[in-house]
Amino acid sequence: MSTVIFGRGLRPAALVLGAGLALVAGGCGRGGPRPAPAPDRAQAEAPVVHAGPPAEPLVKGLPDFTALVERYGPAVVNVAVVEKGQGAAATDDDNGAPADPLGEFLRRFGGMPHGAQPPHEVQRGEGSGFIISADGYILTNAHVVAEASDVTVRLTDRREFTAKVIGVDKKSDVAVIRIPAKDLPTVKIGDPSRLRPGEWVVAIGSPFGFENSVTAGIVSAMSRNLPDSGYTPFIQTDAAVNPGNSGGPLFNMAGEVVGINSQIYSRTGGFMGISFAIPIDVAVNVEEQLIKTGHVERGRIGVVIQDVNQQLADSFGLDRPHGALVSQVEEGAPGAKAGLKAGDVILSVNGRSIEHSNQLPTIIAAFKPGTTVTLEIWRDRASRKVPVQIAELKEGRVKTSATGPGERSGSERLGLTLRSLSSQEKRAAGLDSGLLVEEVDGPALRAGVQQGDVIVGVNNQPVNSIDQLERVVGKSAQSVALLISRDGATLFVPLKLGG
């Protein structure tokens, strides 16, 4: 039937559709419609059940964006940049696939075009921005202007200004630039915390240089955590965003800016239905610091965290999966001084609940260093309050471990072949205890345990021997939480036990 509809044109399709309708309406007999059978006595005497009035539709009509665009479109600007080339960029293969698929996963789309460039050749690119004060301050993306030697801002009335870069913060991908002008149109700042999935949003920018292009979509999700963007809880939308939209505003239906369009998910470099925006409250916090001091201070407590799934929640005795599970505490950091331990689950900060682990870095980063906050943590199947003094964010890395000979053993319930670490290996890895994973099978393989992982704890108990591990596993009914050291970092892996 599908071949007839799509391969033979409209006329046969209409015939097929008509036959289908006749079949539904008239039954399956060859002699045409059958007369309706007379109802029996029981059916005739049965009471008639009325379904009641039709339900009120949840969605009515489509929105009209004209008033929003007329009022705030003039505050959206085109940002043209010139920079010196830094050498050849990665090229696509013969099939048009990106040379680096992982890098392309969240490819920035507002600066230079994709493709090779001769070393030291002048490169030109375009992005977007929006005016936040009548005296010329403009918000845009850091990746649009970070390497620029010349920035030109073009308004909707075709006036052009050379802009000064006031400050750039690459961690949040927010930049502030300024043009020498007064009495400029400005946007209105909104509250992204009030956004809800399914709500209409509007993006305005300069995709491919087409200034003040308007696209619309809905909020797909809130607080998305993206690789290398741990301090920004992105707003995900399906509003069409393309090269040149970077730095442009995302409006809600009240005409308020709720985000800065920043990234897309793409396998081709073009829009594929998923775009991400920086929440405007994060951007405004960065903007205020850049204007005032030229740099951004962020708070830290010195812990490595991960999300809590159902199996981990069961292992730690939580009523449901929520919070940020601490998998590692940096020695000498505020978290360690406050007594935080691997296996603690941070449930709230100053009363603000943590549903997903990616919320914690953003909340902590917003506090000024030296501030004391109260964490609610879950430990030993009970909650407690812990005061922690915030320090200034300074990133560091932990060295990886080595391997060597030792004791071997296997566990059918885990699906692992393990051996103890030697004293030399513990010193090299900076570990007090641990069991090296040499072979993986069964439940452990399904849980994501890898060869070369070092198991340092089970169900919040450190393990230094295979006997210790098997005793803890023997007391567990259905699942365990393995604390694993991998590539210099630690993480909890929930594992459903085999029979």
- H helical segments located in 95-232: 101-105, 142-145
Q: Which residues pair with 454 in a beta bridge?
A: 436, 485
Q: Which of 172, 206, 213, 246 is catalytic?
A: 246
Q: What is the number of other CB atoms lying within 10 angstroms of the CB of residue 67?
A: 9
Q: Which residues pair with 201 in a beta bridge?
A: 217
Residue with tokens 């399956």: 28
Q: Which of 128, 169, 172, 173 is catalytic?
A: 173
Q: Which of 208, 226, 228, 281 is nearest to 250 (CA)?
A: 281
Radius of gyration of the chain (CA): 30
d(CA 290, CA 292): 6
Residue 224 contacts by C-beta under 8 Å, 6 or more apart in sequence? 233, 234, 235, 236, 276, 358
Question: DSSP characters for 73-109?
Answer: GGGEEEEEEEEE--SPPP---TTS--S-HHHHHT-B-
Residue 221 contacts by C-beta under 8 Å, 6 or more apart in sequence? 197, 235, 236
d(CA 169, CA 287): 9
Q: Which of 249, 317, 307, 252 is nearest to 277 (CA)?
A: 249
Q: What angle do CA 235, 236, 241 make, to 5 degrees?
A: 110
Q: Which of 492, 485, 483, 495 is nearest to 413 (CA)?
A: 495
**173 is an active site residue:** yes
Q: Which of 128, 143, 213, 327 is catalytic?
A: 143
Sheet of 160-162: strand order equals 160-162, 150-154, 76-84, 122-131, 137-141, 174-178, 164-169
Q: What is the number of other CB atoms lying within 10 angstroms of the CB of residue 440?
A: 20
Which pairs from 98-106 meet CB under 8 Å and 24+ separation? Answer: 98/267, 98/269, 101/267, 104/266, 104/267, 104/269, 105/227, 105/265, 106/226, 106/227, 106/263, 106/264, 106/265, 106/276
Tokens of 352: 């603000």
Q: Which residues are catalytic?
A: 143, 173, 246
